[in-house]
Amino acid sequence: MGKFLSAAATAFCMASAITPAVAADIPLSLTCAAGNVSCFGAFSISPVTAGNFTQGFTFSLPLDGKLGGSVTTEFTVPIQDIDFTSIVVDGLYSFTKNALVIEPQERWSIAKLSLTGGPHRIDITGTSAGLASYGGTITFAAVPEPATWGLMILGFGMIGGALRNRRKAIVRYA
């Protein structure tokens, strides 16, 4: 029985050493323009200790709209770089790795992702060789509702009709 408990404790310790370090979620605050039609947020983590890691970021959008963003690694010595495994929004939408960036630096991005207003999260998973850092930005632009588009088109039509029906000024020379 003692050997079994010893083996179980050893297996547990080895398994816990392999699992990635999961840090507490970090709330992102977005700075929005008047009317919440566009927002911007930034984050950075420094340094990331050696090993596997998972970091979550939470944020809330004021309206439905389009989200864009990028995440980039930073390091002083190339052997201390970070290799991202995945960067996912709400567990469904993945950032894509920019193939034009030369290793060991990485840049991942996402563009024109349609999201509803309310709470969301970004999960970043990867492996750090030690003492590297990463940072990123997210941008948000509200998409007008169909009623807004309809009123705007109606307004342009009314302006065009008013311009077309204007009486022409008659110029008389003395």
- Which residues have CB under 8 Å from 157's CB, separation 6+? none
- Segment 73-122, tens digit of pLDDT: 988 777 888 999 999 999 999 999 988 877 788 999 999 999 999 999 99
Can you give the pLDDT at residue 156?
A: 87
Closest by alpha carbon to 132, among 65, 91, 73, 64? Answer: 73
**In the structure encoding, which two tokens stand for residue 68, read together?**
């864009």
Calpha distance 46→74 (Å, rounded): 9
Q: Print pLDDT tens along the chain (174 aa).
A: 445 434 444 443 444 444 455 667 899 888 988 777 889 999 999 888 889 999 999 999 988 899 999 999 988 777 888 999 999 999 999 999 988 877 788 999 999 999 999 999 999 999 998 888 999 999 999 877 677 778 888 888 888 888 877 777 677 786
Beginning with the edge strand found earlier in the chain, give each strand of the sheet holding 96-97 in spatial order: 31-32, 38-48, 132-142, 65-74, 107-115, 96-97
The full length of the chain comes to 174
* CA distances (Å), origin 135, targets 12, 45, 84: 33, 6, 12
Can you give the pLDDT at residue 158?
A: 86
Q: Domains in the chain, start-ordered, CATH in brackets? A: 20-162 (2.60.120)
Query: Helix, strand, or coil here: 113?
Result: strand
Can you give the pLDDT at residue 165?
A: 77
